[in-house]
Amino acid sequence: MKSVKVTILGKQYPLKIEDSEEEAIQRIARYVDDKFRQYKKELNKQPDTTVMSLAALAIAEELFEERKQNRQLSQQEQKVMKKVNQSLESFAEELTS
């Protein structure tokens, strides 16, 4: 385990992570910080808790959309693989007949 600090909206948060996770955690923290700052700029009169909540909802929406697209691609892949397998089976039957 390794201790690292990430900064979000100017506040440092200590985290214990696996050594192999450091780069990913830093990248994620920068993304969250950027998103929070974007919302803070747009909603400058709102308290940080409101800004952070709305930004978190936007990030969650992105995640759900990516998951949906991933499911759709997986389903398309399964259909294509089924067709390829059927074609290969037909070809194999032709070769053995």
When divided into structural domains, the chain yields a total of 1
Domain of residue 26 covers 2-96
Three-class SS of residue 40? helix
Residues 6+ apart with CB under 8 A from 53: none
Residues 6+ apart with CB under 8 A from 14: 3, 4, 5
- 10 Å CB burial of residue 17 (0-12, 13-18, 19+) is middle
30 neighbors 7 (Cβ within 8 angstroms) = no
pLDDT at position 24: 97
Confidence of residue 97 (pLDDT cuts 50, 70, 90): confident
pLDDT tens track for 36-62: 999 999 999 999 999 999 999 999 999
pLDDT at position 30: 97
